[in-house]
Structure 1
C-alpha cells in the first residue's frame, strides 16, 4: 500500500480511565483496574474478578433518547467515538458524510440488554420485550449507532474475531482508506458483557482466572500464570488519508499504520505451530521492515501457560531471544476482547509520542525458557519509532498491526 494512513484522533473508555489522558497516566503509574465484580453478586461463580469501568454515567454523556435503546457496550462506544472525533477536530459535514465511514469490532453484542429482555419474555410475555431488542443485541449495533449519531454514511462494517477483531477492524479501515473509498474512518472496538449471562459465557472458555487477589489473577508470561481476567471497554481511532489530514489540520498525527496481517491457526489435532509467527512476518513484509526495525512489541499476553508459550516461541523465532522489548499493559485492565487490540494501539501510539514503554504489573517470575524481555514494574524510557501490536482471538485468530511515528 502506497497511501499513508494516519491516526488523528483517539477515544478511550477503560477500567483505567474514561479519557486518553487518564488512561495513559494510570497505565504509566501501574494503576490496577482489576477488582471484584460490582455489577452483580459473583459469589455463585468460580471467577469473581474483572476489569470494570467505574464512575461512568451514560446520562452525563449521551442524550436521554438514546438510553432506552442502547446496551452499556454501545453507550461506552458512543462516548469513545465522540471523544475520538473531538480529538481529531473533525467536522463530518465539511468533509462530506459519504467520505466518512465506520468499522468496529465486537465479540458479544449487547449482552446486558438482551439478558434483561429475555427475562421479560419468560416472566412477562412477548408484549413486554423492548422493540429495541431487534438491534441492541447485535454485533453491528455500535457501528450503526455511531454512524447515525455522527451522520457518517461512508463504508461501514463490523468484524467479529474475539480479541483479534479490534486489530482486524483497524486493518480493514486502513485498506478502505488506502483504496480511496473513504477519506476518514472511525474504527476500533469496545466490549462490555458483565451480567450473569455474559459472565457465564466468559467462564465457558475454561481459561478465566479463578484467583481472588487482583495482584495474582492475571500474570502473562509468569510461572504462576493461571488464566486471564475479563475486562470491559476499549478504544476508537480516527484514521485518515495522510494527505487529506494534512490539508484539514496542522496538528501532528499520533502516528501511522504501516503494516497489518491476519492468519488462522491450524486444527489443534495437527500439532502444527500457531499462525502467530506468520502474522508477524506478514505484517513486517506489509510495512517493508526487517525484524530489527521494531522497537517494541505490545503482546497479546494471554495469561494461559500454553498460549503464553506459543507467543514467546513466535517472538523468539522472529526477533531472537530477548530480541525486542515486550510490554503487556492489559495486565492492568484485563482482556477486553475486541476492545483489547485498539486499546493496545492507543498505548503504542502514546509510547511512540513519549518514548516510554508502559510496564506489566504483578509479573515477577517470567518463565526463563520464554526468553522474553518483558518490561515490568516500572516504565522504561527509550527511543521508539516502530511498534508491533499483537492480538489473538479464541478459535484461532491471529492479528498483527505495526504503527510508526510520523515526522
Structure 2
C-alpha cells in the first residue's frame, strides 16, 4: 500500500454521557440535550468545580465476564464495550481474521485513575498485601489497547498515544499510517474516564475547569460568558480499514474517509511566535488535497477559555475568512472527554454526514468578537466534508479532515 491509500471508517462504537451507542448519542446530540450534571460518583461539595458529563445506566457486568471486571478500571470497561459495539457495527468478526492482520491504537490522557486511586487507598490504609496485582497495568495509559487486543486476539501493530485532548486524533492518524503500511484492520480512537477524587484533583490543576453550578451556563465556548470547560468521560472507537479491502469483504457501510491529518506544537510562551493551530489546519487540508471552500463544517476544540477561544477563532478566520464556515461544538452536551473527545467528534461528524444535519453547540450564545458562524440549533443541509480540531494541554494541536461516503465514491468515480 502507499501514502495515497484510502483509509475508511466502517464501524463506530460510542460510549458517551449522551448515550451508549450510535442512536442514543445522535438523538441527544442533534437535539442539543445536555448530559452535564452535578457529579454523582463522589461528593464534589468540597471542590471548586462540581459538574461533569457522566455516563449513567451502564452496568459493566451485563457486558463483560466476571473474570474481567476485577482486572479493569471503569474507563477500560467502557472501552471494551465500545470496541465490541464498533466491531459489530462493522460486521467484523476478529475470530475469522489472522491475528497479525488486526491492531489497536488508542489514546489516553490519564489511564485507569479510579482503579489506581482505590489500590493506593488500600496501600496507605491496609498495607501492600492488600493491593491488587492488577494495579500493575489497570492504571496504565496503554491498558485499553492491551485489553482490547487480548480480548479479540489482535496481534498486529498496536500502541497508545498520549497528547491529552489532541491524542484521539493522533491515534487515528497513527492507525491510518499502520493501514497504509499493510495492516488491514485497526481499532482506533480513545475513551477516557477520571471522574474520581484523585482524577478530579489532577484536572483542577489546569486552572481551566468551570466552577459554575448551572449546567446550562457552565460550558460556553465562544460566548462572552465563557469561564472554562466542564470535564466528561467516554469517547469513541472506530474500525478503520483500507477502502478496497473493506469493499471486498462486503462491509455493510462505509461512514467515510480519514482524508487528511496534521499535528503541530505551540511555541514556548513569550517567544512571540504564532500558535500552531492554523498551521495544523493548513497542513491537514493539504494532506487531503482539499481547499478551504470544500469544508462544510468544523468541529471545534472549544476550550471555553477566552484566550484559547480567540486563538481558535483567529485560526479559523485566517483559513476560511470571518464567518466563512459553520462551526460547531457538540461537546457542550458531554463535557470535554480528553482523549475521547475528538474521536467522539469524528463519530458525530460521520453521523452528521449520514443524516445531513450539523448538530448544535448547546447553550452558547456566540460573541461577535470571534467572527464565527457558530451553529447553535441543528442546521439541515448536505455535509460532505468536515474538519475536526483538538488541542491538548501544553501546546498540542491536531486536525483531521474527513470525507463522507458519497464524497469518497464520487472521487473514485
Alpha-carbon distance, 1:249 to partner? 1.1
Q: Deviations over 1:278-332 (max 9, x none)?
A: 0000000000011111111000001110000000000000000000000100000
Report what 1:36 is aligned to.
Answer: 38
Give the conservation status (yes or no) of the 8 Å contact 2:90–2:253: no
Q: Deviations over 1:167-200 (max 9, x none)?
A: 00001001110122x0000000001101100000
Report what 2:396 is aligned to.
Answer: 397
Report what 1:359 is aligned to.
Answer: 360
- Aligned residue pairs total 404
Superposition TM-score, scaled by structure 2 size: 0.97
Report what 1:136 is aligned to.
Answer: 138
Alpha-carbon distance, 1:250 to partner? 4.8
Tell me, in whole angstroms, the C-alpha distance in 2 between the residues paired with 1:374 and 1:222. 10
Tell me, in whole angstroms, the C-alpha distance in 1 between the residues paired with 2:36 and 2:372. 24
The 5-angstrom pairing of residues 101-116 of structure 1 reads: 101-116=103-118
Tell me, in whole angstroms, the C-alpha distance in 1 between the residues paired with 2:58 and 2:123. 28
1:339 to 2:340 alignment: yes
Tell me, in whole angstroms, the C-alpha distance in 2 between the residues paired with 1:289 and 1:317. 16
1:368 to 2:368 alignment: yes
Tell me, in whole angstroms, the C-alpha distance in 2 between the residues paired with 1:299 and 1:323. 14
SS in 1 for 2:386: strand
Report what 1:285 is aligned to.
Answer: 286
Q: Deviations over 1:16-60 (max 9, x none)?
A: 000111100110111111000000000100000000000011101
SS in 2 for 1:104: strand
Report what 1:220 is aligned to.
Answer: 221
1:96 to 2:98 alignment: yes
Tell me, in whole angstroms, the C-alpha distance in 1 between the residues paired with 2:137 and 2:69. 14
Report what 2:190 is aligned to.
Answer: 189
The 5-angstrom pairing of residues 173-252 of structure 1 reads: 173-180=175-182, 182-252=183-253
Tell me, in whole angstroms, the C-alpha distance in 2 between the residues paired with 1:385 and 1:28. 17
Report what 2:5 is aligned to.
Answer: 3
- Which range is displaced more, 226-235 or 246-255? 246-255
SS in 2 for 1:403: strand
Give RMSD over aligned pairs.
Answer: 0.7
Report what 1:330 is aligned to.
Answer: 331
Tell me, in whole angstroms, the C-alpha distance in 2 between the residues paired with 1:363 and 1:287. 31
Alpha-carbon distance, 1:217 to partner? 0.1
Tell me, in whole angstroms, the C-alpha distance in 1 between the residues paired with 2:372 and 2:136. 47
Superposition TM-score, scaled by structure 1 size: 0.98
Report what 2:381 is aligned to.
Answer: 382
Tell me, in whole angstroms, the C-alpha distance in 2 between the residues paired with 1:97 and 1:20. 27
Change (3 A) 1:250 1:90: closer
Alpha-carbon distance, 1:91 to partner? 1.8
Report what 2:315 is aligned to.
Answer: 314
Tell me, in whole angstroms, the C-alpha distance in 1 between the residues paired with 2:194 and 2:80. 16
Q: Deviations over 1:351-406 (max 9, x none)?
A: 11111000001112x22121100000x21011111100000000000000011012
Alpha-carbon distance, 1:95 to partner? 2.5
Tell me, in whole angstroms, the C-alpha distance in 2 between the residues paired with 1:37 and 1:252. 37
Tell me, in whole angstroms, the C-alpha distance in 2 between the residues paired with 1:245 and 1:97. 17
Change (3 A) 1:75 1:250: closer
SS in 2 for 1:270: coil
Tell me, in whole angstroms, the C-alpha distance in 2 between the residues paired with 1:220 and 1:147. 37
Alpha-carbon distance, 1:272 to partner? 2.0
Alpha-carbon distance, 1:94 to partner? 2.3
SS in 1 for 2:189: strand
Q: Deviations over 1:235-279 (max 9, x none)?
A: 000000111100111523000111000000000111322100000
Following superposition, which runs of at least 4 residues in structure 1 exceed 6 angstroms of deviation?
A: none
SS in 1 for 2:394: coil
